[in-house]
Amino acid sequence: MLFTSCEKEESSANVSKVTNYPTFDMQGAATIFLEKGTPFNEPGVTATEGGEEIEVRTSVRGKYRGGNTLDENVSDYYTITYS
């Protein structure tokens, strides 16, 4: 391979940067089955990015009946998304 350039680069400072991606750590099981009417207790999740703890946003979506809240008295397949 041969690489050529028209100008000599005097410095490579600020040319590249390290990108840190968040890491999520779930405190409980990834799948939870509940009997209708049983209270749901959020097991919790923590997120770190570059070694620092960051805020976690949570959203809920019901697959069959829709909605954006988890209702223990309504049978559905709920997905909780962390971001």
**Among 33, 36, 34, 32, CA closest to 75:** 36
pLDDT for residue 71: 92
Point out the residues of the chain with pLDDT beneath 50: 1-4
| DSSP-derived 3-state class of residue 25 | strand
Taking the model in full, what pTM does it have?
0.68
pLDDT for residue 20: 86
Domain boundaries, given as residue ranges, for the chain: 23-82
User: How far apart, in Å, are the Cα atoms of 42 and each of 21, 60, 68?
Assistant: 24, 12, 15
Which 8-state DSSP code applies to residue 65?
S
**Residue written as tokens 């069959």?**
64
**Residue written as tokens 């509940």?**
34
Strand partners, 80: 60
